[in-house]
Each structure stands twice: as structure tokens, then as C-alpha cells.
Structure 1
């Protein structure tokens, strides 16, 4: 399969893909953009066929792109060869990737999670920064976590910035959305320990009793865990600060907690 050639920025498909930078468009369509042949290949290998595949002429003969084109064709997707200018406009970068894929978003229901299927899980309360969220999804994948639960009003895991930061792990890690009340009710039956990171805690994170499966609960970048979330934890811990900095970046702190929980 090879795509038709499009050179105009006013092409309806190109305009629709560009619109996916907006959260409203992503929510209305249930679609998102993933940039780069590596990430598109990850998606295809994990069973996610592109709904739309845009690529530059320089990538047309790459065997991995040919595989992605076959995947799109088998799923009834659309493939288009486009100019570098179009790729730059879609990615909003002067040096764009040569391949851009559009995929369906995927969320897992809270009730569908099987706690015993992994030693560690991550819950994030009102995370705001898409770069942090994407990095945490990548960390969850690397550490073998069962999934990431987004509690309350969080940034969009399918924003372009978040997807870029996942480096392809967006396709490998189950993502759940839940409001605070539903999460707290569901958490009551959690079979392992729920460990929260809290600046005011006194217990060192390395001394915590991580009973598997462990749920690592992290607060947002500004306020941390609010009282009702901290109270839902079996134990609250701190990561010691030895220098002048009084806290860690959320994605770094989450990585520290996850690897402690899976040690």
C-alpha cells in the first residue's frame, strides 16, 4: 500500500490532523497524534493500527513504514504522502519527524483492573504537566507497572506533549480515568498497600512496608497530596532532600517511589 500525495495545507485530512493539537478535537474524535516512525512502529507491534498515516517521501521505502502502511490498510485507515512543510505544520516543529500517525485513544475502566496482575501500580492526583505525565507513563512501562490511574481533573495523556514524552509507552500502559469519589471507593478493596509521597511525612520511603501489589499515590506538582488522598494511604513517606532543593520533579519522584516499591 502506498498513499496518495497531498501538498496542500487546506486538505481536509491534514486540517483534521492539525486540529488534534486541541483537547476539544481529541475529545470529540477520540483520536490523537503520535509522531515518529519508532512510536508508530511500537503502536503497530502492540496491535494499534493507524487510522491515518502521513509520511514524507524520504521515509516511503523504509520497511517499518511499509509494515505500518499494511497495518493501516488492513484496518481501513488512510495513508497520505505529504510535504515536509505539512509535517512541520502538523508537528509545530521546524525539524519534524518524517512519519505521523493518528490513533484511537484507549482508556481502561477502573473496575477492569486486576490488582494481582502486577507488583506495582501508579495513581496520580490532578497531575497538571503533560511532560511529567508522559514521562511517568514511560517509567511505568519500564518498571513493569500494571497501569496508571488518573484521579480527578488531570492533564490529557493523549496531548501531543504527553505522547512525545512517553516515547511509545502510551501504547503499552493501561490508562484509567476516575474521579476522587470513585477512586476512594475502589481503593477500599485494594489487596496490597497504598503508599503516598508526602512532604510532611516522617517515614523514609526506603523504610516503608511495600505490600504487593503496591499502589504508589502521587499528588500534583503544586500542592502534592491533599488531606483526603493522604488519608487514603496505608502509609505516607518522604524522599529526603539533602541539598537546597526542597522537592523533586513529579516524574522523578514517581520513578524513585516506583523502583522502591518494585525492589
Structure 2
């Protein structure tokens, strides 16, 4: 492992710039932080590019760097780690990864359960939805053009490794959604005014769940193409559920149904 001591080093400058969305998009790379995220990245070795490790943690990763010379491993001090990291208290490990890519055709080829996120703005909510989708068997997540960047540091941290494990399709247009309907997908959306409850619905066929922004819900053009408007029953007097919580409840219901459907 090579040691880097200066903020002016090209590798350090490059990594720090990946905290900017425009540079992430340009380079198709993003940063992950911490041992847990690195462990998940190691399961996808083709995506891993560089690892920056604080000196006190370096001995733990000497063997790893020797086994994988294709990964650039650098030892840095706490000052440089904080410069690269997006957190106030850096975990001591930052890695640079290639943004995973999935073909749009993959989303059209099977009996899938998909999540469409319309103008989701909160990074924590998006990261939690990615994590829940991964844990509960969703086949992919589609995002509208004006949703938060899924590869921003806060989203990546909240995903807890899900960012590597569930297909993401960005900048999904209305025409692409309509194409899914044409090949047999049933569209679901949620509303507190809906009559049907989530737990009475059938999610075993090709399904798409549309979840709207935290403050405005889904756009009317999206609601118009949904087949079923449903609600999650909650205690009277409570206004609504957080978008990520509501999404997880519905994904869990779909997963239970689809597991039973697959096993029967």
C-alpha cells in the first residue's frame, strides 16, 4: 500500500470531487465509507477501484491489497481522510467504486415487482427504500428525473449496501412507464383517500408501486396511469406515514405474496 500525505495529490483531489453530483455523473464513480460498505463492495469486485485507509487500520487490509493488486490501496492520515469523507467523524475507510449499470431492457423481461419513486427528495428516505427493496425482494427501483441522486453520500450510507444489490434505473420517463403497462404491468399508488387497503390486493403478477415525494405525493400524470389507488390502514388521527416506511410495508406485503406464489 502506498502512503499519501498531501491534499494536492491527484488521487485525493479526485476522490474529494466525487462528493459533487456533477463530477460523479461525469466519471460514473461514487464513494462508499466504512467497513460494512467495503465488505459489501468486496462482493462486487469489478466495481471497486481505489481504497483509502487510515494508517491505524492499514494492517487489517495488507493481505487484501496483496491479493488484489488491481485495486489501488492508499494509506492516509486522519486529516486527509476527513477531506475525502462526507461525514463529520470519518469511519477510517473510504473506497471509490464504479457506478453499477443496468440495462433498461432488464426491467421489461420478467414478472417483476418494481418501485417507481416520483420526485423523492430526501436522501435518507431514498437510501432506506433501497435497503428495504433489497431486503424484501423488490426486483428494481425506477426514479423520476427530479429525484435525489441515489449515489450521493447520504443515500449510499442509508442504503447499507443495497446500492450494490438492487437494480436502479434513473431518469425514467412517462413513456417508459406506459411501456411497462403495455406489456402487462399493473400499477399501484397510495392515497389516504383510497378505498382499497394494501392487504386486500394481489401483487403476484407483474407489479409497479408508485411512491411520491414526501411533501407533494405523486404527480397527477402518474396517478392517472395507475390501475389501483390503495391505502395502508393507520390509527385515526395520524396524518400519514413516512414515504420510506409506507414503501417498506407494501414491499413486505408483496414479498410475502410473491414468495407464496413462487413456492406453491
Task: Tell me whether 1:108 sits opposite 2:105 in the alignment.
Answer: no
2:174–2:222: 8 Å Cα contact kept in structure 1?
no
Counterparts of 1:89-238 in structure 2 under 5 Å? 89-116=83-110, 118=112, 120-238=113-231
The CA distance in 2 between the partners of 1:137 and 1:256, in whole Å, is 13
- For 1:162, what is the secondary structure of its paired residue? helix
Which residue in 2 is equivalent to 1:81?
A: 75
How many residue pairs get aligned? The number is 256
Q: Return structure 1 stretches of 4+ with deviation > 4 angstroms.
A: none
User: What TM-score comes out, normalization by structure 1 length?
Assistant: 0.89
CA 1:69–1:102 in structure 2 vs 1: closer, same or farther (change >3 Å)? Answer: farther
User: CA shift at 1:152, angstroms?
Assistant: 3.0
**Which one of 235, 238, 243 corresponds to residue 242 of structure 1?**
235
Alignment of 1:16-55 (within 5 A): 16-55=14-53
Q: 1:67 corresponds to which residue?
A: 64
Q: Report the Cα distance in structure 2 between the residues aligned to 1:95 and 1:218, rounded to whole angstroms.
A: 33
Consecutive unaligned residues of structure 2, counting only runs of 5 or more, are 257-264
Distance 1:167 1:206 in 2: 28
Change (3 A) 1:165 1:69: farther
Equivalent-residue separation in structure 1 for 2:185 and 2:196 (angstroms) = 19
In 1, the alpha carbon distance for the partners of 2:109 and 2:248 equals: 20
Question: 5+ unaligned residues in a row in structure 1: which ranges?
Answer: none
In structure 2, relative to structure 1, the CA distance for the partners of 1:114 and 1:129 (3 Å cut) is same
Residue aligned with 2:163, SS: helix
CA distance in 2, matches of 1:187, 1:261: 18
Distance 2:182 2:13 in 1: 46
